[in-house]
Structure 1
Amino acid sequence: MSNPTKSVAFECDIAQHCGAIELIIKPIEKDLGGFSVRRVLPNKEREMVGPWIFFDHMGPAHFPPGDGINVRPHPHINLATVTYLFEGEILHRDSLGSVQPIRPGDINLMVAGRGIVHSERERPEATRRDRILHGLQLWLALPETAEESAPAFFHYPSETIPATHINGVPVRVIMGCAFGLNSPVKLSSDTLYVEAHLQPGQSLTLPFAKERAIYVAQGSLKARDTYIPERCMAVLTPEHGVEVIAQEESRIALIGGEPLGPRHMVWNFVSSRTERVEQAKEDWKAGRFPVVPGDEKEFIPFPD
């Protein structure tokens, strides 16, 4: 979805910790018109975790018939977006001509490369009923060698995402390699994204990555003596064998990977080069980006 802010100077509550946890981030809640989004990354203390530069928790939001998601076409450069839903459905369209509903458990990976435009709306048949939207939207910075690659879109149905049970805990390896499983989702750099659903008292030893963070979408955890509350992200220290224990029924997402170096973000544009961001701004204002077939009439203007 579109990033409604222009800089990375977000105000977040940060708690410093020791041991397995470097810090805990409490996201800012933002109203995007009828539903809430909790913005976790970037923030003033931590801009990235590995290659991950943006992390939003959407909902859960209830929509009556007739209302719903209506994000007009907007651009991206030099990044990849990842959309993952727990509940609900979103209709993705982009300037490559892709038209793809995303449903719970699926992965939509959109590689912006040198530039792409997309919208996020709903199918007419979906808007005729009561429904709930609940999910995560993340952005990956691309390695410098891939920033200006050709834009691309990949859809991975839920059944193609590898899953297993670790000591009774259901786990899905959404991106990267963990627990002996390899995700089919295309990677541009060393990347990790794992989902798990723990019952009270269950534990999980987290896979290692050079940088890692765990987000509690539902429930609460303990890592050693540190409590990780619901709807917060704990950035982990680079230790092997970190174990979390569910204090209640908990749904968690682990993200991480190899750091890529500093990135510049303005609105929906992310790049290793400030001049590239400035060029993208001017290109969008001048109408030089491609349009979205079937969704050409509207767009989100660059914010003043």
Structure 2
Amino acid sequence: MDIRGIFLVLSAAVMWGLIGVFTKFILAENVTALEIAFWRAMFAWVLFLAHAKYMKAIKVQRSDLPVLLSFGLVCVTAFYASYQLAIRDVGVALAAVLLYTAPAWVAFLSWLVLREAMNAAKIACVCMTVAGVACISLGPSLFSGNHIDFSMFGFAMGLVSGLTYALYYIFGKKYLHRYSTPTIFVYALPFGALFLLPFVDFVPKSPSTWALLFAMAAVTSYGAFSVYYAGLKRLDATHAAVIATFEPVVAAVAAFTLFGEHFGVWGYGGSMLVIAAVFLVILGGNRATRIQNGF
């Protein structure tokens, strides 16, 4: 396996794992979750625009603009907003775990939209993910009788972030595979930010807050996607996806170290089920590919 490819994908996972850290520090400056999502999209757009201009890869077919607009609405507006709101309401670690319900959503949506077979591995992935989420959200109250202070809105936003993250795959496979990553985001990011705009309450910001917002966009959007796709050129998609599951580990360690966040036994058990489901569906898909290719 290509060591440089591993390093690149691992770097992307670390960058994505820092989304919650940036969010927590910026929220502490009285910037709302939705304003954070807006500036993350806009600053990342500036960087992707410069990249696309350098590549001379800005033009797209006019007939693809509605799809790019829809991608911006779902995978920028809804995804960026829901994930920031989840971090705000349920914390960095839990939001990252709920984000990684995405493979279960992918399995279901691939069957529903792309007509891909719903094999045993995918069904098991969905069941394990549902069980894991139930352990995280309901385990303490159902099995120990303890009442927990739990934000159902934040929990729902975490699940929405997983769903909209999964739609990156659906859009990419069905519609946007002809374009490079910078080209797609040149159109999707400003559309996504525009849809966020009516819901944003802008507040005055210090230079340090502006610096945090720009750094967040540069690291967790432009930087992470750039190094991830560079790593994909050196690794197969299965290995890259497995390595990327390091993201919730980074988020959990950062949340515990910086903010004192931790799960109970049911939370950790549910988290392990969700991450195990990720590995199962990825490795199951890799096995199916080998069989189709005659290996």
Task: Return the TM-score normalized by structure 1.
Answer: 0.26
Higher-helix-fraction structure? 2
Higher-strand-fraction structure? 1
Higher relative contact order, structure no. (Cα contacts within 8 Å, ≥ 6 residues apart): 2
